[in-house]
Amino acid sequence: MSAGNVILTGFMGSGKSTIGRILAKELNTYFIDTDNLIEYLENRSIKEIFEKEGEESFRKKERYCFEWIKNNVKNTVISVGGGFPVFIPEIKEAGVVIYLKVDFDDILKRMSEDEIAKRPLFQDIKKAKELFSKRDNIYRQLADYIIENRDIDETIKKIKGIIDAS
């Protein structure tokens, strides 16, 4: 793997964590999921943080996470929360950014009711779709590479090709 980090962005349910875990294993390196890291550090779920402290507090925790990653993490595959690049536009300072693009309807098909229930910003599907549209532009602008994530094996192959070329 090259000297830097690979950061996977995309909307909630786009496969960032799934792809990230597999990719890190194949590259024989580490994997960090920023949402899981925040839950671990806070000893509570993202949903609880949103309910008790609000989104602004959660975004501050994401910022802290970003600064730690930027200053301390190397040669790692990192999956970031769906809002991470929206609120931290300097995300490229921590590594190569790959946007895993998935259509909204495909995301809905992939996610179970339990997965939807644990995502605070997914409680109103209409609002989630509007959020998806807004964030799609941001993801595109901030990405070094955009990959349509339709097939796990094909997506991993494309990302490895990007890494090998760098």
**How confident is the model at residue 119, as a pLDDT?**
73
Q: What is the DSSP letter of 150?
A: S
**How confident is the model at residue 165, as a pLDDT?**
82
Given a cut of 50, the residues of the chain with pLDDT beneath it are 1-3
State the residue for tokens 């000893």.
Answer: 43
pTM: 0.91
Beta-bridge partner residues of 33: 79
- Identify whether the C-beta of residue 98 lies closer than 8 Å to the C-beta of residue 6: yes
Alpha-carbon distances of 152 from 33, 36, 39, 56, 158, rounded to whole Å:
18, 21, 26, 33, 10
Which ranges of the chain does DSSP label H, i.e. alpha helix? 16-27, 34-42, 46-53, 55-72, 84-87, 104-110, 113-117, 125-142, 152-165
Computed from CA positions of residues 155, 157, 161, 164, in that sequence, does the dihedral angle turn out positive or negative? positive
Q: What is the pLDDT of residues 77-87, one digit of tens each?
A: 999 999 999 99
d(CA 75, CA 78): 10
**How confident is the model at residue 143, as a pLDDT?**
97
d(CA 72, CA 87): 20
Q: What is the DSSP letter of 1?
A: -
Q: What is the DSSP letter of 112?
A: -
Q: Identify the CA nearest to 106 among candidates 83, 129, 126, 90.
A: 129
Q: What is the DSSP letter of 121?
A: G
